[in-house]
A and B are shown apart, each in its own frame.
Chain A
Amino acid sequence: MKILKLTFHHIRRSPFQSLVAFFTVFACFFILNSFLLVNRGLSNVLNYFETKPEITIFLKDGLDQSTVESVQKELANYPDIKEIRYISKEKALSLYKDMNKDNPLLTEMVTASILPASFEVSAFNPKVLEVIAQNFSAKSQVVDEIIYQKDVIQSLLSWTQIIRYSGIALIALFISVVFVVIFTLIGMKITNRKDEIKISRLLGASKFYVKRPFILEGIIYGLTGSIIGFLLSFLIIYNFRTTINSFFQPIIFVPNLTFFEPLLLLAEISVGIFVGLSASWLGARRYIKW
């Protein structure tokens, strides 16, 4: 009798126990995958804020072109600078109008002369921005105001870290639950099939032979639970992709499909198989004593 046939026979003979094992693994991977996809979105949010012009230097009114150019040159001399954008008064007005195009009352009275020109500076290394902020705040004859988003990023970073750490703890907890459920269930199934195992042993079956269907059963729970858990959470998140992304606009919280998804699926299948295999193997080793 083929081992797979025997394993499915075991699964069919105690369908409710098998369903409990499957749903536990499925629920674990559904939550795990949802968390990973949300975490990926949060990384995108963080990345957006980290790479956004993190420092905005508003210039005093009435500066001549050569002063503006010397400020730009000075900024460009700092290391790890990613981008320096000069926003003239006219450009600032155009941005303002664009931002408030649905509210004409706010744009009616505003002219370019009342908006300050500015430099938006982003860097690969946020520490540089801190130095720039310190140095330019002393240049009161050129600089009107400096807006530095350090606090926003710090707060976002700490929240993201809290979410990541609690996610890791949650994953560890769920994997432990899956392990214990499969281990206990295999133990119960072995006890239920004690006579069958004893008969097989008397007919000359090795210990590994009688363990095999139970080990394979654990692998099947890990495999199917991880695949279906992944697919369902993936489909739900990607189905609501447009709504989620429009909520986080302009940040792309759920990006287009890349190699990340198949790799994540493979990783989750591997984890599922590993947990199913180790739990059932240990369960079989613990309970098969004949």
Chain B
Amino acid sequence: MEIVFDKVTKNYGPISVFKDLDLSVSPGDFVFITGPSGSGKSTLIKLILNQIKPSSGDILINGKALNHLKDKSEIDKIRRKIGVVFQDYQLINDLTIEENIALSLDIVGYPSIKRPSRIDEVVKMVKLQHRHFLFPSQLSGGELQRACLARALSIEPEVILADEPTGNLDTANAWNLVKILQDINKKFKTTIIMTTHNTDIVESLDKKVIKLDKAEHENT
């Protein structure tokens, strides 16, 4: 999945988050988005998901501008190809972790017969195999982050958008999560877009970095 920002500006009232932002992410890329708080990292993720609209400019997914799509169901189809690790987890509180993953699989139309094995596979991948029957309120911040990753991975997405996925994890778990994302990127050519504050991770890996600043944003 190719993602292109063409002179995208996003304002929240009088406050400009970014102005005339250009960026391009090709299929199979692993991209870090860095920048200080308030620089628009989460806004960028929300724009890709069409959760919010740009004030001006176009966001193109596989060449199609999101804000010019006539058929609104196209947005749903695009979202079904994207796995998202939300900063605030966005898990449904009265469903267990297993049920949250199953819901996601149901939404993308994953074959029913393969769902239990797929759930087992992803909970093992994020080391939640003994916690998947618990509700979100019964898990720690780090476990919730991994549960959210498990849900994103389960649908075998073309793109994974990870919004500060290491924010609530200790160093070992943070590296473990990055390793999972690296493996998926390498093995399945899944595009990874990850926002992070963690400079150690960004500097240790030789990946594309998009740095957002409050005053001005540049594509490095």
A residues engaging B (CB < 8 A)?
Answer: 1-2, 9, 13, 195-196, 199-206, 209
- Which residues 80-119 in B have Cβ within 8 Å of A in the complex? 80-82, 84, 90-95, 99, 102-104, 106-108
List, in ascending order, chain A residues with CB within 8 A of B107's CB: 200, 203-205, 209
Tell me whether B51 is interfacial, beta carbon within 8 Å. Answer: yes
Output the least CB separation between B219 and chain A (Å): 26
Tell me the minimal C-beta distance from B44 to chain A in angstroms.
15
The A-contacting residues of B in range 104-147, CB under 8 angstroms, are: 104, 106-108
Closest to A290 in B: B51
Q: Is B76 touching A204 in the complex (CB atoms < 8 A)?
A: yes
Task: Give 7 nearest A-B pairs by CB, closest first.
Answer: A204-B80, A204-B79, A205-B107, A1-B106, A196-B92, A199-B90, A206-B76
How many residues on the B side are at the interface (Cβ–Cβ under 8 A)? 25
Interchain CB contact under 8 A, A202 and B76: no
Query: Which residues does chain B contribute within 8 Å of A201, judged by CB atoms?
Result: 76, 79
Q: How far is the CB of A214 from chain B (nearest CB, A)?
A: 15
Residues of chain B within 8 A of A2, CB atoms compared: 106
28 A-B contact pairs sorted by A residue (CB < 8 Å): A1-B99, A1-B103, A9-B95, A13-B94, A195-B92, A195-B93, A199-B90, A200-B107, A201-B76, A201-B79, A202-B49, A202-B51, A202-B84, A202-B90, A203-B79, A203-B80, A203-B104, A203-B151, A204-B77, A204-B79, A204-B80, A204-B81, A204-B82, A204-B107, A204-B108, A205-B76, A206-B73, A209-B107
Min CB distance A127 to B, Å, is: 65
A203-B80, A203-B107, A204-B108 provided; 20 other pairs, C-beta below 8 A? A1-B99, A1-B103, A9-B95, A13-B94, A195-B92, A196-B94, A199-B92, A202-B49, A202-B51, A202-B90, A203-B84, A203-B108, A204-B77, A204-B79, A204-B80, A204-B81, A204-B107, A205-B76, A205-B107, A209-B107
* Most chain B CB atoms below 10 A, which of A195, A204, A206: A204
C-alpha gap A202/B45 in the complex (Å): 12
- Residues in B whose Cβ lies below 8 Å from that of A202: 49, 51, 79, 84, 90
Q: Determine the chain B residues whose CB is within 8 A of the CB of A204 once the complex forms.
A: 76-82, 107-108
Chain B residues whose C-beta falls within 8 Å of the C-beta of A1 in the assembled complex: 99, 102-103, 106
Give complex CA distance A202, B49 in Å.
Answer: 7
Contacts of B108 in A (CB 8 A): 203-204
Identify the closest chain B residue to A197 (Cβ). B92
Q: Interface readout for B43-84 with A: 1 if CB under 8 Å, 0 if not? A: 000000101000000000000000000000100111111101
- Give bound CA distance, A204 to B80, whole Å: 5
Please measure, in the bound complex, the distance between the C-alpha atom of A279 and the C-alpha atom of B151, giving whole angstroms.
Answer: 34
CA–CA, A155 to B78, complex, Å? 71
Shortest Cβ distance from A210 into B: residue: B107
Chain A residues in 8 Å Cβ range of B95: 9
Measured CB to CB, the closest approach of chain B to A22, in angstroms, equals: 21
Shortest distance between the CB of B207 and any CB in chain A (Å): 25
Contacts of A195 in B (CB 8 A): 92-93
Set of chain A residues within 8 Å of B92, measured between Cβ atoms:
195-196, 199
Q: How far is the CA of A195 from the CA of B94 in the complex (A)?
A: 11
Residue of B nearest to A196 (CB): B92
Q: Mark B139-180, 1 if CB is under 8 A from A, else 0.
A: 000000000000100000000000000000000000000000
A209 to B106, CA, bound (A): 10
Question: Nearest chain A CB to B168's CB is how many angstroms away?
Answer: 18
> Contact between A200 and B103 (Cβ–Cβ < 8 Å)?
yes
CB distance from B132 to the nearest CB of A (A): 15
Chain B residues with CB under 8 Å of A200's CB are 103, 107
The residue of chain A having its C-beta at the shortest distance from the C-beta of B89 within the complex is A199
- For residue B192, give the distance in angstroms from its CB to the closest CB of chain A: 18
Complex alpha-carbon distance, A13 and B94, angstroms = 8
Question: What is the bound-complex CA distance between A275 and B79, given in angstroms?
Answer: 34
B21 to chain A, nearest CB (A): 22
Q: Cβ of A9: which chain B residues have Cβ within 8 Å of it?
A: 94-95
Specify which chain B residues have a CB less than 8 angstroms from the CB of A13 in the assembled complex.
94
* CA gap between A195 and B49 in the complex, in Å: 16
Residue of A nearest to B84 (CB): A202
Q: Hey, which chain B residues are within 8 Å of A199, CB to CB? A: 90-92
A224 to B95, CA, bound (A): 26
Bound together, the chains give a CA A204 to CA B76 distance in angstroms of 4
- Residues of chain A within 8 A (CB-CB) of B90 are 199, 202
Q: Give the residue among A9, A196, A199, A206 with the most B Cβ atoms within 10 A.
A: A199
